[in-house]
Structure 1
Amino acid sequence: MLYLIDKPMAEIGLRTAAGDPEAHVVLIQDGVYLTPDIDAPVSAVARDVAVRGVSLPPDIDRISYDAVVERLVEQEVKSFV
């Protein structure tokens, strides 16, 4: 499942994703400021990272909005945005 996470809803979103062995977290908007401690793949929207001038830890991949849209169509999504 794909978890879209923004900063205001991060606590509940990450807690929910932590209980899902199929989770893939995508940090979006101000969520790119987060450094989640979660045992799941984590990506951050590249445009949001660039606009905010954030340096990502090496374990967080950048993903384009186009790639996020493709994943939205392909898999189930929970939004915490």
Structure 2
Amino acid sequence: MLYLVDKPMADIAFRTAAGDEDACLVLLQDGVLLDPDLDVPTYAVAKDVDVRGIELPPDIERISYDAVVEMVVEQEVNSFV
């Protein structure tokens, strides 16, 4: 399942994703400021990263909003935005 995560709902999102063996996280808006401690594929929206002027940890991959849209179309989504 694809988890869209923004900072205000991050705690519940990460707890929910931790129990999902097929979890995939996409951090967006202020969610890109987070560093989830989960062993799942994790992505951050590049535009949101750039606007906030931050460096991502090496295990978080930058992706475009277009890539997020493709992922949303292809997977079941749980939104914490």
Q: Same fold (TM over 0.5)?
A: yes
Q: 1:27-71: per-residue Cα shift (whole Å, max 9, x none)?
A: 000000000000101100000000010110000000100000001
Please give the alpha-carbon distance, in whole angstroms, between the structure 2 residues aligned to 1:4 and 1:65: 12
Runs of 5+ in structure 1 lacking a partner? none
Please give the alpha-carbon distance, in whole angstroms, between the structure 2 residues aligned to 1:52 and 1:70: 24
Equivalent in the alignment of 2:38: 38
- Secondary structure (helix, strand or coil) at the match of 1:67 reads helix
Please give the alpha-carbon distance, in whole angstroms, between the structure 2 residues aligned to 1:41 and 1:70: 16
Alignment RMSD: 0.4
Q: TM-score, normalised by structure 1?
A: 0.98
Q: TM-score, normalised by structure 2?
A: 0.98
Runs of 5+ in structure 2 lacking a partner? none
- Secondary structure (helix, strand or coil) at the match of 1:14 reads helix
Aligned letter for 1:73?
A: V
Equivalent residue pairs, number: 81
